[in-house]
Amino acid sequence: MKKTFIPRIRELLSKPGYEPLNKSELARALRVRTNQRAAFRESLAEMESTGEIDRGRKSRYRLVPRSAKAKAPSLVGTIQFSRDRKRQSAVFLPDDPAAVPGFQAGDRPRIFVPGRFTGTALDGDRVEVHLVEPEPPRWQRHVPPSRRPKERTDAEPHAKVVRVVERVRTRVVGRFHSKGARAALAPEDGRLPASFRLSSVLPGAEPGDIVVAEFTAWDSPSSQPVAKMVEVLGREGDPGVDILSIVHRYGLPLAFPEAVLREAEAVEEAIPSGEIARREDWRGREVFTIDPEDAKDFDDAICVTERPDGIWELAVHIADVSHYVKPGSALDREARRRGNSVYLADRVLPMLPEPLSNGVCSLKPGVERLTHAAILEFDASGKATSARFVSAVIRSRRRYTYEEAYALMQLDPADLAAIPGEEERSLASHLYRAWRLASKLRERRFAKGSLDLESAEVKAILDEQGRAVGIKRSEYDESHQLIEEFMLAANEAVARETRQAPVASLYRVHEDPDPAKLEEFAEQARAFGHRVGDVSNRAELQKLLRDIRGRLEEHGLKIALLKSLRRAAYSKDPVGHYGLAKSDYTHFTSPIRRYADLVVHRALRRLLSRRHAPTAPAKADPVPVEAELEGIAEHISRTERIAADAEADTQRLKLVEYLERVCLEEGEPLFDAIVLEAKAVGAFVELDGLYLKGMIRRADLPPSLGYSFDRGGGAFRGRPGVPDIGAGCRLKVRLHRVDREKGFLDFIPVTLPKRKSRPSRSRDAG
């Protein structure tokens, strides 16, 4: 029935002298009856989605000329929506940036999609779009075209969704509502439509429950998307419901299939004597691990030796997951599907089942474990001189936490003799020796242009019910730096080995940044009073990073820099890593939690088998061909991004929960904050110690102080004598409101800002 309106609409819009009409005016002109309105709206939506008609100013419809349709470039890519449901605009990220007219090679265009052009796309979908001319600014729309300023010919186009190519998001989490026979779901994620119609409801579901629904259909922008309820998580506030909501929102897998669990449980922990015999035996060597306090999957161990001739030997032992997980097995298929482990605030969703991830593959102290090792040599200055790769067996002597290792590294060498136990004293001396080598590697790495992008982390401490009861700050100290340098060295050595050989493998790549994005970051740094040169010059960028080290704005500016850089990803081509300043780089050191590393292990072992290396297996496992590797790289790059976003969401959720808890228990406590940036809508601030970002909205500034926004100066200026509020200002704030749906925190200033001529250093900065 809906198609019966299409010829009538087409006839009306093609009449000579037709003046564009909106939806209501069209309905009146076509004498659409009340019971035909739904079909009429669907006909309009279909014609618009196919590009036959277009909505112009004031949502008035017109036919799109055939010439315009023929010229409209068709692009395929990903659509990302804003969190503001009132606007529901989006950006389009093309799969092939080079296909976008006017963009230079290497650009990563983000093309604006007005809300009325998003069609039936959902956040994250792969869509086909046509490029369209941008509309005039809102303030110009009432001005007749003849009196408008001359339009720019270089204005960037907008995009219009014409087809959904692939539904990426299939599950929706939200609050269940019902009224009579009508059931609906209001999604928690502000990037989704405000309401989904539920075609089915589970028995026992109550209005107000947080539920999971499976998306089923969305035929027209004028109608509601449809979903069916598949799981009831519980009431808001019930223990664990908040994290489960995020798990389902991102489509993260919770349980392993039965076939995968059966394979994992069938793995023998005892190592056959024949397997040990063919491997290099490191059980008598002083090998140990350093990991986070709450870690259970220990996939790397180290051993450092300094020879009398000044040559350093570094052995990086990595859990030999490839010995247990064979290509094509149920374990392998599930590991590839998951892509990586996900470390949420209250749980770990491992890539491999626990019998492997925390069991036979984990390099626990005092037990025999199989490893794939990189044995690297360096000269006295820390320059790499040779590398060999072996299958090995170890028995780790000690499991250190980062905190334990750091405490020992802070001891005076003379105090080592007082450590009880000969083995403990020897291991403590080993730590000192390892740091001497690591510090040389670190110095050489930064001398070559590597960027110091690491900073402290803050995580919520949870009780048994999953409630946030405290915070833990993890400093990026020498114990972390030691392990980082050794893992970087091993990854680089493996990448160099596979690149120089005829074997397909995966690489960790980080493309050069967009100079314009870097300059935007530089402007932010200048707002804090820093002298900033040309940050497209690596040396200048390194100088700026050194300048902000230890300052209150360090964390905020490093996050801003990371956002201005391209995102690291996986590729079958070794194109280098900008952030690390390395031409050869891969991921080899974490096969328990990253599928990329498992693929690289197989590629390296196949290479060694071809060379008939002493410890290589007689027949190595097959390695994916290049075409398959390309698909794997794209998939695991996507799962990595999803995991990172989910991890960040759960940590922020629990940190906000802790913040609210403190406010409830202590009345209205004050928090120290620093202003990161000021815009017309308000001042963006970050809380000291918590690294939580929020906003002081313009409407919440004290009216008596007469603040107004100075666009040129990028600050709020008050009456004479009232301090400005701009980047670098220090002030005390209190929590004003929390918008969980959008993830916003709003604060109110309690003290007037303080600002020095140069950025002040934090209290605990050395």
pLDDT in tens, 723-739: 999 999 999 999 999 88
Neighbours of 291 (CB within 10 A): 20
Q: Return d(Cα 470, Cα 209) in angstroms, integer.
A: 28
**Which of these, 55, 47, 14, 9, lies nearest to 30 by C-alpha position?**
9
In single-letter form, the type of residue at position 497 comes to E
Q: What is the mean pLDDT of residues 390-401?
A: 96
What CATH code is assigned to 1-69? 1.10.10.10
**Which of these, 542, 288, 558, lies nearest to 433 by C-alpha position?**
288
> Residue 353: which pLDDT band, with cuts at 50, 70 and 90?
very high
Q: Give the residue, 502 or 639, on which the prediction is more confident.
A: 639
- DSSP secondary structure of 168-225: ---EEEEEEEEETTEEEEEES-TTS-S-EEEEE--TT--TT-EEEEEEEE---TTS--
The class level of CATH for 668-749 reads: mainly beta
Q: Return d(Cα 393, Cα 279) in angstroms, integer.
A: 6
**Which of these, 503, 632, 589, lies nearest to 320 by C-alpha position?**
589
- The percent helix, strand, coil of the chain (3-state, each to 5) is 35, 25, 40
Q: What is the pLDDT of residue 765?
A: 36
Is the pLDDT confidence value at 690 over 80?
A: yes
Q: Give the residue, 196 or 138, on which the prediction is more confident.
A: 196
Q: What is the mean pLDDT of residues 574-597?
A: 97
In single-letter form, the type of residue at position 273 comes to S
E strands, 450-513, where? Answer: 457-462, 468-474, 507-509
Q: What is the pLDDT of residue 51?
A: 72
Each residue's pLDDT tens digit, 143-182: 555 554 544 444 678 898 988 999 988 899 999 999 888 9
State percent of the chain over pLDDT 70. Answer: 92
> Residue 451: which pLDDT band, with cuts at 50, 70 and 90?
very high
Q: Return d(Cα 568, Cα 181) in angstroms, integer.
A: 49
> Residue 136: which pLDDT band, with cuts at 50, 70 and 90?
low
Structure-token pair, residue 62: 């017109």
Rounded to two decimals, what is the model's pTM?
0.85
Give ranges for CATH 2.40.50.640 in the chain. Answer: 171-236
Provide the mean pLDDT of the chain: 89
Q: Give the residue, 667 or 324, on which the prediction is more confident.
A: 324
> Residue 2: which pLDDT band, with cuts at 50, 70 and 90?
very low
What architecture (CATH level 2) is domain 171-236? Beta Barrel (2.40)
- Alpha-carbon dihedral sign for residues 371, 374, 375, 379: negative
Out of 80-84, 115-119, 326-330, 530-534, the most confident range is 326-330
How far CA 494 is from CA of 377, 481, 659, in Å, comes to 14, 20, 44
Give ranges for CATH 1.10.10.10 in the chain. Answer: 1-69
Which of these ranges, 19-23, 372-376, 379-383, has the smallest mean pLDDT? 19-23
Q: How far apart are the first and last CA of the chain?
A: 75
